[in-house]
Amino acid sequence: MIKTIYLAGGCFWGVQGFFDLLFGVEHTSVGYANSKIPNPSYELVCSSVSGAVEAIELQYDEDKISLEEVLERFFSIIDPTAWNKQGNDVGTQYRSGIYANDPKTLEFVKAFIQKIQERYHKSIQTEVKELENYYLAEEYHQKYLQKNPQGYCHIDLSKASKPL
């Protein structure tokens, strides 16, 4: 069965590039989640006026990759203890977060975070919230690292080919 979750881990280019390499991922897009402004532009998101976060929509086949593995993989590529920052990217649009419309999914995510907190010396800052809205980012952002293999990315994409 195909499930959907929204993940924010800094610049969405790298998060999308990483998850596109995983078996069981059926579709991804990049966009802006939980914006206070309908259909914000990249410039509005970067200005922090929209309150949106750069995120990916991740559709995965739960018969091929579990939500737990999706979360393990996600936490392997971000610093969940960072506040409004990932890599060299700083600002509220780069906060880490996990969003969904399904309360059971959100409960699972919260329990997962409680379980892995012991791995970290600082508190996990990754927000877990209901998805209020998701607007596709501009076309030039979609599959950016496929189009621009030398483009900036704070994520080690080689981790996608390594076992957990």
List, for residues 108-132, the tens digit of each pLDDT value.
999 999 999 999 999 999 999 999 9
User: Is-catalytic flag, 153?
Assistant: no
pLDDT at 8 over 90: yes
The model's pTM is 0.96
Per-residue confidence (pLDDT) for residue 78, from 0 to 100? 97
For the chain, the average pLDDT equals 96
- 2-161 is classed CATH 3.30.1060.10: yes
Domain positions in the chain are 2-161
Cα–Cα distance for residue pair 24/154, rounded to 1 Å: 23
Dihedral sign for Cα 40, 107, 89, 31, please: negative
- Tens digits of residue pLDDT in 81-94: 999 999 999 999 99
Cα–Cα distance for residue pair 150/157, rounded to 1 Å: 12
Q: Which of 11, 52, 53, 145 is catalytic?
A: 11
Burial of 93: CB neighbours in 10 Å, binned 0-12, 13-18, 19+? buried
Specify whether the CB–CB gap between 107 and 77 falls below 8 A. no
Cα–Cα distance for residue pair 158/136, rounded to 1 Å: 26
